[in-house]
C-alpha cells in the first residue's frame, strides 16, 4: 500500500493549510531539506504534531509522552545507553510483547534488533525525538534511584536535625515534574506540614514533613521566587525558572498566611502545549463538524466558556490553527501569551501600562484585522468592544467564566450587551470541562445496569437519548504503575456547543429564559456537558463517577 504523503496527512489532521504546504514546498526547493523538518523549522507544525502525522502515515499509534510514562519493568529490557543510542523508549510489557516508542516507525532494523535482544514480540508506537530523549533521561534515573526514596531520605535526615532544605525543595519540584503535576501545595497543619500534587485536575497527598522546618522551606521557595522572606503576614506572589535535567520549567509561586503558617502553592506552567487538535481534545465528530463550519464564517463571535483550568485556551489555540493565517490577518490579546504561533500577531495584556483587553480591541480595529482573539471577557467595556467588532465584519474568539453554554447569554446581558446584539453578534457558545480518561494500561470492561447509571445523575431522558438498554458495558481502570494506581491517565474535554441560529437568536431577543433556550437547542441536537460525558462513558473513554465529579 502506498504511503500517504506527509503534507496530506498534516492537512487531514488540521495542522497545515494548502497555502502553508505550498510555501514550505517552495522553500524546500531552495534548501532541499526534508519536508517534515522544514515544517517544524518554519513553525508551521510542532515536533509533536509532526510525530502524530508520521504515526498516522505508518498506521501506528501516537503516544503523548507528556502524559504517558514507561513502566520500570519495561525500561529494564535495554540499558540507558542503548536507549539513548537508538533513541527508543520501552513503554510497557504486556505478556510476551513489549511496546516501544520510536521517532521513525519506518526503520525496520530497530524492531529486529529489539526482538533479538529481548526475545519479545515488539509493538512500535510513535512520538517525537525530543520527548523520547527527555523521557529516557527522566525515567532511567528513576530506575537507579526513585525520587520517592530521595525525598523520604531528606525528610528522615530533617528529623535528626540535619535538614538540607534547598535539596528537599528541589526534590519536591523534581517529583512534581516526573509525575507531571500542575501544582504543588505545601500546607502547614497542626502537627505536620503536607505536600500535595495536582495531577489531571485532582489533588493527591504525597508527603508529610516535620512542622519545624516549614518556615525554612517557605523561605527557600520565597528566595527562589524573588519574594520578601521577612514578610509573613501578607499574601505574596513570585516566580522563577527551575532547571531539571537540562530543561527549564517556569514556576509561579503564591503564599497565603493561614492559622498554622504560610501556605505555599507552586504552579508549574505547562511546557508541552503543542498538540492543538480539537479531535484529540475530545470534540466528538458531529460537534467538530459544526464547530469548524462556524469558524469559517467571515464574522461573528465564538465564545468558549468554563471555569479556570477547563482547557479553554487550548481550544482557542486549536481553533486558531484551523484558520488560514496566510490568508487572514489574525491579532490576539492574551493574559499571558502561552504559546507562540507564526504569522499571528500576539500581544499581552499589561494592566499597569494601561494595555487592557478593551484598549487592545480598539487598536486592533485599525490594523485591518480578519480575526481577533480576546483572551477573556470580564468587564462591560471589553464585552461591548468585542461584540461590536464581531458585528462589524470580524471573527472574534474569546472566553467567559460561565458554567454552561446557555447561561452565557444572561451573563452577556449583565455586561450590558443588548439582547439583539447577542443574537446578531454571537455565532456559537462552547462550554467545556476536562475529565480524566481511563488509563489504557489497566483498562477493563464490565457490565452495569441502567439503574446503576441513574445513580450517577444521568436522567431517563439522557439514557433514552443514547439508547441505553437494561444492561450495558462500561470501562474502568484497575490502577497500575503508569497511572499511579488511580486508573486514570490524561484528560479530554466534554463539550456543549450552543449554536445561535435564527430561531435561537429570536428566542434571545424575545427574552426567553435560559432553560427554554437550552431545551430548544437540545431538540435541535445540542448535547449538554453531562450528555457528552455520558457518550464518553458509553464509548469507554471515562467512567460515570468521573463525569459526576466534574460536571455534577
Using CB atoms within 10 Å of the CB of residue 127, give its burial: 0 to 12 exposed, 13 to 18 middle, 19+ buried.
buried
Q: Is 412 within 8 Å of 514 (Cβ atoms)?
A: no
HEC readout, 325-392: CCCCCEEEEECCCCCCCCCCEEEECECCCCECHHHHHHHHHHHCCCEEEECCCCCHHHHHHHHHHHHC
Compute the least distance from the CB of residue 483 to Zn ion, in Å. 3
Compute the least distance from the CB of residue 355 to Zn ion, in Å. 46
CA atoms of 326 and 42, how far apart (whole Å) = 13
Compute the least distance from the CB of residue 179 to Zn ion, in Å. 14
Measured from the CB atom, is 484 or 520 closer to Zn ion?
A: 484
Using CB atoms within 10 Å of the CB of residue 113, give its burial: 0 to 12 exposed, 13 to 18 middle, 19+ buried.
middle
Compute the least distance from the CB of residue 65 to Zn ion, in Å. 16
Measured from the CB atom, is 95 or 354 closer to Zn ion?
A: 95
Local structure of residue 211 (DSSP, 8 states): G
Compute the least distance from the CB of residue 200 to Zn ion, in Å. 12
Measured from the CB atom, is 441 or 456 closer to Zn ion?
A: 441
CA distances, 358 to each of 147, 279, 328, 384, 418 (Å)? 47, 32, 22, 9, 18
Measured from the CB atom, is 462 or 480 closer to Zn ion?
A: 480
CA distances, 361 to each of 328, 373, 409, 418, 478 (Å)? 17, 9, 21, 19, 50
Q: Which residues, other chains included, contact 309 with Cβ-Cβ below 8 Å and sequence gap of 6+?
A: 201, 434
Compute the least distance from the CB of residue 478 to Zn ion, in Å. 7
CA atoms of 464 and 260, how far apart (whole Å) = 51
Measured from the CB atom, is 175 or 482 closer to Zn ion?
A: 482
Compute the least distance from the CB of residue 71 to Zn ion, in Å. 10
Count the neighbouring beta carbons within 10 Å of the beta carbon of residue 128: 25
Local structure of residue 216 (DSSP, 8 states): H
CA atoms of 141 and 147, how far apart (whole Å) = 9
Measured from the CB atom, is 312 or 482 closer to Zn ion?
A: 482
Compute the least distance from the CB of residue 100 to Zn ion, in Å. 19
Measured from the CB atom, is 31 or 445 closer to Zn ion?
A: 445
Measured from the CB atom, is 420 or 444 closer to Zn ion?
A: 444
Label the pairing between strands 330-334 and 247-258.
Answer: unpaired
Compute the least distance from the CB of residue 199 to Zn ion, in Å. 13
Query: Three cell numbers at 466?
Result: 443514547
Helices (H), 160-295: 165-178, 214-224, 278-281, 285-295
My answer on whether omega of the bond before 336 falls inside 30° of 0, hence cis, is: yes
CA distances, 429 to each of 188, 191, 312 (Å)? 42, 48, 12
Measured from the CB atom, is 139 or 291 closer to Zn ion?
A: 139
Which helix (H) or strand (E) covers residue 411, if one does?
helix 408-414
Q: Hunting for cell 447509571 — which residue is that?
A: 453
Q: Hunting for cell 501600562 — which residue is that?
A: 353
Compute the least distance from the CB of residue 180 to Zn ion, in Å. 14
Nearest residue to Zn ion, by Cβ distance, number only: 439
Compute the least distance from the CB of residue 271 to Zn ion, in Å. 23
Compute the least distance from the CB of residue 94 to Zn ion, in Å. 12
Q: Hunting for cell 528537599 — which residue is that?
A: 168
Q: Hunting for cell 503564591 — which residue is that?
A: 254
Measured from the CB atom, is 330 or 439 closer to Zn ion?
A: 439
The DSSP bridge partners found for residue 123 are 99
Measured from the CB atom, is 242 or 441 closer to Zn ion?
A: 441
Q: Is 348 within 8 Å of 308 (Cβ atoms)?
A: no
One-character DSSP codes across 522-533: HHTTPPPHHHHH
Measured from the CB atom, is 482 or 527 closer to Zn ion?
A: 482
Measured from the CB atom, is 437 or 499 closer to Zn ion?
A: 437
Binding site for Zn ion (CB under 5 A): 439, 441-442, 477, 480, 482-483
Compute the least distance from the CB of residue 302 to Zn ion, in Å. 36
Instruction: Dump strand ranges (E) for 128-221.
Output: 183-188, 192-199, 202-210
Measured from the CB atom, is 146 or 440 closer to Zn ion?
A: 440
Amino acid at each position: 500500500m502506498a504511503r500517504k504523503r506527509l503534507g496530506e496527512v498534516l492537512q487531514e489532521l488540521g495542522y497545515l493549510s494548502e497555502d502553508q504546504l505550498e510555501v514550505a514546498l517552495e522553500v524546500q526547493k531552495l534548501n532541499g531539506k526534508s519536508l517534515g523538518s522544514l515544517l517544524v523549522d518554519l513553525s508551521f507544525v510542532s515536533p509533536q504534531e509532526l510525530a502524530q502525522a508520521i504515526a498516522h502515515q505508518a498506521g501506528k499509534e501516537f503516544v503523548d509522552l507528556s502524559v504517558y510514562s514507561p513502566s520500570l519493568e519495561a525500561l529494564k529490557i535495554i540499558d540507558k545507553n542503548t536507549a539513548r543510542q537508538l533513541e527508543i523508549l520501552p513503554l510497557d510489557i504486556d505478556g510476551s510483547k513489549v511496546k516501544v516508542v520510536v521517532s521513525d516507525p519506518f526503520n525496520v532494523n530497530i524492531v529486529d534488533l529489539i526482538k533479538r535482544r529481548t526475545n519479545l514480540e515488539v509493538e512500535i508506537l510513535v512520538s517525537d525525538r525530543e520527548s523520547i530523549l527527555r523521557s529516557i533521561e527522566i525515567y532511567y534515573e528513576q530506575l537507579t534511584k526513585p525520587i520517592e526514596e530521595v525525598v523520604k531520605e531528606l525528610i528522615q535526615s530533617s528529623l535528626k536535625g540535619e535538614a538540607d532544605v534547598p535539596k528537599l525543595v528541589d526534590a519536591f519540584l523534581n517529583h512534581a515534574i516526573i509525575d507531571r503535576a500542575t501544582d504543588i501545595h505545601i500546607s502547614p497543619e497542626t502537627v505536620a506540614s503536607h505536600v500535595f500534587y495536582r495531577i489531571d485536575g485532582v489533588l493527591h497527598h504525597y508527603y508529610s514533613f516535620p512542622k519545624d522546618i516549614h518556615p525554612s522551606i517557605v523561605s527557600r521557595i520565597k528566595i527562589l521566587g524573588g519574594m520578601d522572606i521577612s514578610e509573613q503576614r501578607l499574601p505574596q506572589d513570585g516566580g522563577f525558572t527551575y532547571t531539571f535535567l537540562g530543561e527549564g520549567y517556569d514556576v509561579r509561586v503564591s503564599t497565603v498566611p493561614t492559622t498554622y503558617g504560610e501556605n505555599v502553592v507552586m504552579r508549574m506552567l505547562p511546557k508541552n502545549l503543542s498538540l492543538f487538535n480539537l479531535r484529540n481534545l475530545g470534540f466528538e465528530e458531529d460537534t467538530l463538524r459544526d464547530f469548524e463550519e462556524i469558524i469559517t464564517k467571515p464574522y461573528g463571535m465564538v465564545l468558549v466558556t468554563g471555569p479556570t483550568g477547563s482547557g479553554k485556551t487550548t481550544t482557542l489555540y486549536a481553533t486558531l490553527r484551523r484558520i488560514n493565517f496566510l490568508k487572514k490577518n489574525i491579532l490576539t490579546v492574551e493574559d499571558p501569551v502561552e504559546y507562540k504561533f507564526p504569522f499571528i500577531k500576539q500581544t499581552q495584556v499589561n494592566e499597569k501600562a494601561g494595555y487592557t483587553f478593551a484598549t487592545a480591541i480598539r487598536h486592533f480595529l485599525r490594523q485591518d484585522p480578519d480575526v481577533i482573539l480576546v483572551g477573556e471577557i470580564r468587564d462591560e467595556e471589553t464585552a461591548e468592544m468585542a461584540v461590536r467588532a464581531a458585528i462589524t465584519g470580524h471573527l472574534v474568539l474569546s472566553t467567559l467564566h460561565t458554567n454552561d453554554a446557555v447561561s452565557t447569554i444572561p451573563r452577556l446581558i449583565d455586561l450590558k450587551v443588548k439582547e439583539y446584539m447577542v443574537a446578531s453578534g454571537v455565532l456559537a457558545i462552547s462550554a467545556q470541562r476536562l475529565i480524566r480518561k481511563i488509563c489504557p494500561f489497566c483498562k477493563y470492561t464490565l457490565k452495569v445496569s441502567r439503574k446503576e447509571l441513574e445513580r450517577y445523575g444521568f436522567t431517563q431522558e439522557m439514557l433514552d437519548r443514547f439508547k441505553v438498554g437494561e444492561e450495558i458495558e462500561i470501562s474502568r481502570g484497575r490502577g497500575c504503575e503508569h497511572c499511579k494506581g488511580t486508573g486514570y491517565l490524561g484528560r479530554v474535554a466534554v463539550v456543549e456547543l450552543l449554536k445561535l441560529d435564527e430561531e435561537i437568536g429570536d428566542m434571545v431577543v424575545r427574552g426567553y429564559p435560559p432553560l427554554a433556550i437550552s431545551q430548544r437547542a437540545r431538540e435541535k441536537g445540542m448535547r449538554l456537558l453531562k450528555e457528552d460525558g455520558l457518550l464518553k462513558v458509553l464509548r469507554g473513554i471515562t467512567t460515570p463517577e468521573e463525569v459526576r465529579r466534574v460536571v455534577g
